[in-house]
């Protein structure tokens, strides 16, 4: 029996190494990995430049307190600022910490301008913002909050697409609207561009901050560096994590000058957040998430979607919808997806579930066309078997 607690229902398989889009078991079996640690290993497994960066930094300095200047972090923050809407960055270690910090920044901003009554955050019901006590309540999911004590106040929820409810929830105490630009765990639901724009305008009109959680859909996954760039809006606060570390735990909250001003000494901190080892890796990730990589995402996304839509036409009784953007892809089935995912795995293709019967497909951003062909071949075989 495992000494690990039972909070995961783990597949009975383990891997000893990986290379690019593939994972290898102890007995030499090779799996096409279209989970990639849930959109974390954006450059695949064992990326040589990331190996070099971590090796080099590991011989110099791993960790030092944020009480001192950390040049690698200064550099990564500057590069993120140059590349995005943001003027300022706070580094964390995970997505939940990043979204929680985003909530703190929003509240502290209104406090700092004498509007301390503005504390409430509006979120989408059954979204996903992490597993800390505050973020599970932000997610508004019964399943995630069940048994975890008193409800954390300060969060209001509307259902995805229910714009009337969203407008009704806004009052003088609202500080922010916090949504995932593309809902990941919630079933790969894209918030349409016109809708992201309308929410931005609503925020402007009502003196509310816009927090766009790009922990899963950010760092090139959507085909642009941030998914909200498709809608041409400028958010106020953006938590990131997953992709930015390429497999090393890094989180961050990006923000505009306006709100960053509230984060004076002592308002927030993290022992590990932004340490030299993490920052060296983050810089090496950013080196590679360039236009060439984004072109690969866009080109192969188009190809993958067209192949998947063909598969849907061939098996309409199994596949209900192909969803997503870039290389954040969901195959929504008519029925429960468990068996489908198991069969893909039996055929050496790894995928992962999301809500609403969705099979989530997350190749690395540097995936190759022939790897997509292999995935489609396996999916076709499984559809054929399940149709019988």
Nearest approach, Cβ of residue 189 and ligand PLP (Å) = 12
Judge whether 215 and 244 are in contact, CB under 8 Å: no
For ligand PLP, the binding residue among 36, 57, 92, 99 (CB under 6 A) is: 99
What minimum distance in Å lies between the beta carbon of 102 and ligand PLP?
A: 10
* Using rule CB under 6 A, residue 326 touches ligand PLP: no
Please tell me whether residue 216 binds ligand PLP under the rule CB under 6 A.
yes
User: Could you tell me the smallest distance in angstroms from the CB atom of residue 40 to ligand PLP?
Assistant: 8
Chain residues 109-138 in contact with ligand PLP, contact rule CB under 6 A = 128-130
Among 95, 140, 246, 326, binds ligand PLP (CB under 6 A): 95
Residue with Cβ nearer ligand PLP (20 or 130): 130
Q: Which is nearer to ligand PLP, 133 or 264 (CB)?
A: 133
Which of positions 51-80 make contact with ligand PLP (CB under 6 A)?
none
Binding mask 155-194 for ligand PLP (x = CB under 6 A): -------------------------x---xx---------
Q: Report how many residues bind ligand PLP under the rule CB under 6 A.
A: 15
Interface with ligand PLP by CB under 6 A: which range of 89-97, 159-167, 191-199, 333-341? 89-97
Residue (120 or 221) nearer to ligand PLP, CB: 221
Binding of residue 241 to ligand PLP (CB under 6 A): yes
8 A C-beta contact, residue 219 and residue 82: no
Applying CB under 6 A, which residues contact ligand PLP? 94-96, 99, 128-130, 180, 184-185, 213, 215-216, 241-242
């Amino acid at each position: 029996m495992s000494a690990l607690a039972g909070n995961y229902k783990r597949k009975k398989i383990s891997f000893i190494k990986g290379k690019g889009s593939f994972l290898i078991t102890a007995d030499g079996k090779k799996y096409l990995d279209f989970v990639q640690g849930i959109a974390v290993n954006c450059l695949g497994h064992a990326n040589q430049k990331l190996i070099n960066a971590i090796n080099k930094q590991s011989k110099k300095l791993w960790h030092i307190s944020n009480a001192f200047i950390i040049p690698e972090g200064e550099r990564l923050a500057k590069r993120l600022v140059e590349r995005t809407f943001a003027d300022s960055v706070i580094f964390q270690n995970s997505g939940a910490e990043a979204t929680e910090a985003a909530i703190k920044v929003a509240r502290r901003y209104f406090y700092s301008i004498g509007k301390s009554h503005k504390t409430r955050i509006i979120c989408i019901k059954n979204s996903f913002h992490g597993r800390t006590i505050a973020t599970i309540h932000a997610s508004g999911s019964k399943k995630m909050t069940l048994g975890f004590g008193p409800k954390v106040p300060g969060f209001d929820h509307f259902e995805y697409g229910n714009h009337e409810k969203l407008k009704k929830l806004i009052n003088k105490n609202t500080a922010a609207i916090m949504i995932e630009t593309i809902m990941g765990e919630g079933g790969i639901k894209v918030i349409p561009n016109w809708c992201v724009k309308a929410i931005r305008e609503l925020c402007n009109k009502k003196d509310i901050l816009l927090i766009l959680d790009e922990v899963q859909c950010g760092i090139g996954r959507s085909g642009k560096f941030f998914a909200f760039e498709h809608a041409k809006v400028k958010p106020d606060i953006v938590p990131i994590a997953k992709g930015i570390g390429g497999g090393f735990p890094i989180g961050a909250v990006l923000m505009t000058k306006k709100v960053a001003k509230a984060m004076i000494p002592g308002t927030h901190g993290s022992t590990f957040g932004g340490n030299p080892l993490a920052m060296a890796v983050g810089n090496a990730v950013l080196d590679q998430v360039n236009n060439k990589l984004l072109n690969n995402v866009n080109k192969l996304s188009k190809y993958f979607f067209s192949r998947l839509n063909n598969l849907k036409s061939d098996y309409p009784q199994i596949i209900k919808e192909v969803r997503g953007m870039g290389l954040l892809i969901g195959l929504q089935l008519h029925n429960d997806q468990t068996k489908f995912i198991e069969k893909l795995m039996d055929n050496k293709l790894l995928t992962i579930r999301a809500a609403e019967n969705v099979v989530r497909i997350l190749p690395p951003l540097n995936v190759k066309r022939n790897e997509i062909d292999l995935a489609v071949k396996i999916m076709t075989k499984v559809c054929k078997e399940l149709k019988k």
